[in-house]
Chains A and B, each alone.
Chain A
Amino acid sequence: MSVLDVDIKGRAGSFEIETAFSAGPGVTALFGPSGAGKSTLLKMIAGTARPLSGRIVAAGRTLYDSAAGIDLPPERRGIGFVFQEARLFPHLSVRRNLTYARWAGRRRGTRPFDEVVALLGIGDRLDNAPATLSGGERQRVAIGRALLADPALLLMDEPLSSLDKARRAEILPYLEAIRAEAGIPIVYVSHETAEVAQLADTVVLIEAGRVTAVGPAAAMLARLSLAAGSDASEAATLLEGRVIETDPAYHTATIALDGGQLELTGDGFAEGMIVRLRVRAADVAIASVAHDGLSIRNQLPCLVGEVRRDGAFAMVTLHLGEQRLIARITAKSADMLNLAPGRKAYALLKAVSVEMARVERREMPG
């Protein structure tokens, strides 16, 4: 089911935008280098910038159609927007900011105020002025303000980019909570792979105003990690699996993957959880045979796919059943192990180096 269909031409500064994509429920990430026209695209969807021609349909309503002469003003599009900078109204209290859509925008809003405030953890800040909030709090209020306008679709334009690393870590769980609980489809602009890995269901790759690729997050990230020009040291892939066992004594959990089992550290796991794991390519080692007597307990049997050399390094794609994993090893190791497409090998993963990117959903036990 598609909740947003965009097919437009327009201008963003010096280059042309010619973009067509559809977004389903969940989080769609518009991913690409800065200056690729992603923000302009969002503005065109929200109605604060005008395309030259084309069509935008959201939640079954035509917002823009140059052929039919339709161009709804932003206030009638029913689309929430969270900006890079929070843009809280400086002359209004946090509470008046949050309720702005209700008293100024005449949106009735079906979402209870208290629920949104609780979801974003801003209950003790309601009577403060925006200027007294931290960057992270401001962005949470901005998200709450957008949610309380009861949008059919939420647009987020790099909402974390103005924050430092610690503040980002503070906000990401709230974004996950919205994704999981609010049930509003989100279009999320970013150029950070880590954010996309954590939040996105679908990735739309945009370069110079054009869509160059669309696909599920895991497949797209693996592909992006191998793409020329991407930062190889930050390359990572996503694995999905189900928690089948937890061991409270060692604070570990066993996760069943397509092609084997992983043992990870952490207390956030519960049996039956479907989890998404982010594995950095630099943290994956390859062995040609299974080993005993290693501290690395995770040895996943796999098949070697593509081996791509890049100077002293090699990026090796490993297939675990349907899933893929990328390992960044030295070119010398690749030669010593005689890695070639179709060979059997073992992917070695240190439990401590795997990040749980997010909980997909909780399965009912039994």
Chain B
Amino acid sequence: MGEAELSIILLSARVALVAILCALVPAFAIAWLLARQRFVGRGLLQALVTLPLVLPPVVTGYGLLILFGTKGPLGRLFEHLFGLQFAFRWTGAALAAGVMAFPLLVRPIRLSLEAIDQGYAEAARTLGASRLVVFFTVTLPLALPGIIAGAVLGFAKALGEFGATITFVSNIPGETQTLSLAIYALLQTPSGDAAALRLILIAIVLALAAIVASEILARKLTRGERP
């Protein structure tokens, strides 16, 4: 594996990891709202969250460009507040990956929250635990398999994201050129087939490793034998 390939993989991993870590908390919050609360606009929120899954990725990428570009309202806000730029930066690639992976994060978390018998929370309350304590000692641990499933699915999606990323932050080697974008660029050059194949094999190995790791993690955490 050459230095160029390694840097592509590290960049892809960083983009996907940052995307999922940043998306996890809002995804959990929205999953919780959708699973447990009845409010006006619930259907709208549900639709909004699912949107990146059904929209053409190019459209999502263009939307991000409008909102988070250097002249976009949210882009300016982030620049002003945190000095954070998205346009043509790896942070923008992470944002695109996070948005595209969001629906895949929300769904398993929401399903696992819905599957938790509310009777456990009721029992915990009668044992003296406040709502907040019940959340951390009962709800969160019981939702963990769903959170892991969502994170792995989202990570895989973020790793392979293409359309929204290339539209939003372009294909800049060393900055926004993730695995899929590099494979695409190599396939566009006459002699790039062999190099592309190597990256393709690496992508397959990474995906398989992620799935196996999540299986092991999920089994360890749900055995119910923790002290």
Contacts and interface: CB of A to CB of B under 8 A. Distances in A.
Interface of A: 46-48, 73-75, 77, 79-81, 83, 85, 87, 89-93, 96, 100-101, 104-107, 127, 129-131, 145-146, 149
A106 B127 contact: no
Contact of A48 (B117, B122, B129): B122
26 contacts: A47-B125, A74-B125, A75-B126, A75-B128, A79-B126, A81-B126, A85-B119, A87-B119, A89-B124, A90-B120, A90-B224, A91-B142, A91-B226, A93-B224, A93-B227, A96-B227, A100-B129, A104-B124, A104-B128, A104-B129, A107-B127, A107-B128, A129-B223, A129-B224, A145-B127, A149-B128
A85 B123 CA distance: 11
Contacts of B222: 91
Contacts of B226: 91-93
Contacts of B125: 47-48, 73-75
A81 B129 contact: no
A91 B224 contact: yes
A149 B127 contact: yes
B18 to A, nearest CB: 29
B225 interface: yes
A106 B141 contact: no
Interface string B101-121: 000000000000000010110
B133 interface: yes
A73 B134 CA distance: 13
Contacts of B223: 129
Contacts of A104: 124, 127-129, 133-134, 137
A45 to B, nearest CB: 10
Interface string B189-227: 000000000000000000000000000000000111111
Contacts of B128: 75, 101, 104-107, 149
Contacts of A101: 127-129
B28 to A, nearest CB: 17
Contacts of A106: 128
Nearest to B128: A105
Chain B interface extent, by class: 20 to 34
B127 A83 contact: no
A104 B222 CA distance: 20
A96 B127 CA distance: 13
A90 B137 CA distance: 12
B122 A75 contact: no
A100 B134 CA distance: 11
Task: Enumerate the 9 nearest inter-chain pairs by beta-carbon distance, A residue then B residue, closest first.
Answer: A105-B128, A74-B125, A129-B224, A81-B126, A101-B127, A87-B123, A104-B129, A107-B128, A105-B127
Nearest to A48: B122
Contacts of A100: 124, 127, 129, 137
A48 B126 contact: yes
A81 B123 contact: yes
B224 A130 contact: yes
A92 B224 contact: yes
Contacts of B130: 73, 75
Interface in B136-165: 137-138, 141-142, 144
B142 A146 contact: no
A131 B224 CA distance: 9
Contacts of A77: 126
Contacts of A146: 126-127
A109 B123 CA distance: 17
B117 to A, nearest CB: 8
Contact of B120 (A75, A87, A93, A149): A87
B126 A89 contact: no
Most buried by B among A46, A74, A131, A145: A74
B224 A74 contact: no
A64 to B, nearest CB: 15
Nearest to A130: B224
Most buried by B among A100, A107, A149: A100
B127 A129 contact: no
